[in-house]
Structure 1
Amino acid sequence: MYIPDFEYYAPDSLDEACQMLAQFGGRAKVLAGGTDILPKAKTFSPIAPPQTPLPEILVSLKNLEELKKIEYVPGKGVVIGALATHNDLVNSELLNKKYMSISEAAHQMANNQVRNRGTVGGNLINAVPSADLPPILIALNASIKLVSVDGERVLPLEELFLDVCVTCCTEKEILTEVVIPDQKMTGSNYIKFGARRSGALAIAGVAVAVEVENNVIKDARIVAGAVAPTPIRTKKAEDFLKGKEVTAELLEEAGVIASGECKPITDIRGSAEYRTNLVRVLTKRALRKAIDQGHV
């Protein structure tokens, strides 16, 4: 396999990285774990076109240790650096204590080799509809920080995604961190269905976060993945649940409502009808687990 020629830079600071992106413009792209951009650029011969053309310039973030953190900041919440790997999420004592649903979602991704290299920032910026992290992070009301030479902006994670593999992140911006705010939610869960038990792309996935008191649902956030161009909040199902006592019938109906809010496609991995039915079932199961969990 061959990789086309490209220029490579590894700045020692975030400021330097931002300066490079501003200087090179659309000729450059950020390199994090490289588990997506490099394999897609490989060809079987020096003259064969790659699946995805490689940028002229890659700006690696590997030296930016501050982007690898996973820590709790009082008054802010849990901060996950964009360079934290998927296995960092799996093995984080903090996440396993406060947000086990994130660790469990990361553990379902790809294989161990990819989890050792793939990063949180890369998973989000790639904006692949079947990605596992966006649904659970959105369900937990996560926000992100984008940094450039022009300053920084913070926005809800759900506003990052515009279309299939398209985000609002500009050529000059770098996603630096994800913040999960302190929660009133009492439980959360992510369930996906793929062609294999683990490591497969999601045919459909559902993440939920709920606040339950005295067996009554006070608040709920439900996010479906792989069933629309972007992760989708099923707000009708959320509103339906609020203020109601938990019953099997309630969760079943919430699944039906959630499935009706999705916009799945038919492809080689499953039909639109199949995905719609999966959302119904996964929503019911994820809600049940989150409610029984008693903690996020």
Structure 2
Amino acid sequence: MTGEKFVKPIKPKVDINKVNTHIIPFEFEYFEPRTVKEAVELLTKYGGEAKILAGGTDLIVRMKQRFIEPKYIINIKKIKELNFIEDRGDYLAIGAATKLREIEKSGIVKRKFEALYEAVRSMAGVQIRNMATIGGNLCNASPAADTAPPLLVFEAKLKIVGPNGERVVPINEFFLGPGKTVLKPNEILTEIQIPYQPEDTGSAFIKIARVAMDLAKVNVAVALRTEGSIVKWVRIALGAVAPTPIRAYKTEEFLVGKELNEETLKEAAEIVKTEVKPITDIRSTAEYRREVSGVIVKDALLRAYERISKG
């Protein structure tokens, strides 16, 4: 004996299923409806025990890590009526299962809704954008969802279908909290309706993240109209700074009728910092998010104004 005390190794308390992302370690039933009606019928039958699979970029990962264990998976990828980008006169309609990459490649989105184009382009890599859907990005209800701020400033509406018919919800009423929306267990988001803005509208999206293509620490979208350098109307929305994506209504009200100069922008940045309610988490601190909110709102306003000036 050497006099050294033998210490029995402690077995790490690690569930292998939480780290092995090559398998889904539980059983579930799988459905592939071909119509919205069939999908709603399945949701009505299985309710809260079912999950919708669209792009799967979030759902599959969470299932592999056993953060969620749905008994039923309803794959909506083959429902053609959910995958489209369509000009409807007063607004652009985008199917909820439309891939982000298709939105990114859409000429009408880039021309008419530049903030949305910039937001989609900033998300993850091309491989992910080829899978992820706009409806999934919204329905996950992440406070940092990149498509939410542009859709908020464009005052989009969301068409929802359930067993009792359809309803249209303004996007500012869609989010209830982190991971929570107004969708009922037997309802499905079918399309996003984005009103066309006046021709002299400028818009911009800016995102701050740890590295390129990462989730946002803070993101902001702006839509702006001016008469010369005077703000005619403005909409500002931010993500990752509150339990849900938010509109900065006080800042908007302050800006209307003001000349868009350095002093005005500085005051607007200070007002924004009073409207956000950030938290500290793994990605950033509340203090950083609050400070950066003012900076990127100022930058987004300038970018949108420059686009108006360039015509």
The verdict on a shared fold, with TM-score over 0.5 as the criterion, is yes
Q: Is the 8 A contact 1:29 1:171 kept in 2?
A: no
- The match for 1:2 among 9, 18, 23 is 23
1:20 matched to 2:35? The reply is: no
How many angstroms apart in 2 are the aligned matches of 1:246 and 1:27?
51
Post-superposition Cα deviations, 1:27-54, rounded to whole Å, max 9, x if no partner, equal 21211111111111114xxxxxx1x122
The letter for the 1-side match of 2:234 is A
Q: Which stretch shifts more, 262-271 or 183-192?
A: 183-192
Q: Offset of 1:74 from its aligned partner? A: 1.0
Q: Which residue of 1 aligns with 2:79?
A: 64
Post-superposition Cα deviations, 1:221-271, rounded to whole Å, max 9, x if no partner, equal 111110101011111100000011221211121111111100000112211
Q: Which residue of 2 aligns with 1:110?
A: 124
- The match for 1:83 among 97, 119, 124 is 97
- The match for 1:238 among 252, 262, 268 is 252
Post-superposition Cα deviations, 1:148-177, rounded to whole Å, max 9, x if no partner, equal 111111011111100111111010110001
Q: Offset of 1:19 from its aligned partner? A: 1.0
How many angstroms apart in 2 are the aligned matches of 1:235 and 1:133?
19
TM-score when normalising by structure 1: 0.94
- The match for 2:68 among 53, 60, 69 is 53
How many angstroms apart in 2 are the aligned matches of 1:96 and 1:222?
19
How many angstroms apart in 2 are the aligned matches of 1:85 and 1:218?
34
Post-superposition Cα deviations, 1:76-105, rounded to whole Å, max 9, x if no partner, equal x01111011111111111111211221111
How many angstroms apart in 2 are the aligned matches of 1:54 and 1:221?
40
- The match for 1:266 among 266, 272, 280 is 280
Q: Which stretch shifts more, 168-177 or 57-66?
A: 57-66
Structure 1, unaligned stretches of length 5 or more? 44-49
1:33 matched to 2:33? The reply is: no
What is the root-mean-square deviation of aligned Cα atoms in Å? 1.3
TM-score when normalising by structure 2: 0.90
How many angstroms apart in 1 are the aligned matches of 2:42 and 2:286?
43
How many angstroms apart in 2 are the aligned matches of 1:89 and 1:248?
34
Moved over 4 A (4+): none
How many angstroms apart in 2 are the aligned matches of 1:261 and 1:53?
33
- The match for 2:213 among 180, 186, 199 is 199
Q: Which residue of 1 aligns with 2:14?
A: none
Q: Is the 8 A contact 1:81 1:178 kept in 2?
A: yes
Q: Is the 8 A contact 2:222 2:234 kept in 1?
A: yes
Q: Which residue of 1 aligns with 2:179?
A: 165
The letter for the 2-side match of 1:37 is L
How many angstroms apart in 2 are the aligned matches of 1:224 and 1:259?
11
- The match for 1:223 among 222, 227, 237 is 237
How many angstroms apart in 2 are the aligned matches of 1:25 and 1:161?
20
SS of residue matched to 1:292: helix
SS of residue matched to 1:206: strand
The letter for the 2-side match of 1:2 is I
Q: Is the 8 A contact 1:37 1:54 kept in 2?
A: no
How many angstroms apart in 1 are the aligned matches of 2:258 and 2:114?
26
Larger of the two Rg values belongs to structure: 2
How many positions carry a matched residue from both structures? 287
**Percent identical residues:** 43
Q: Which residue of 2 aligns with 1:92?
A: 106
How many angstroms apart in 1 are the aligned matches of 2:69 and 2:54?
14
The letter for the 1-side match of 2:141 is A
Q: Which residue of 2 aligns with 1:47?
A: none
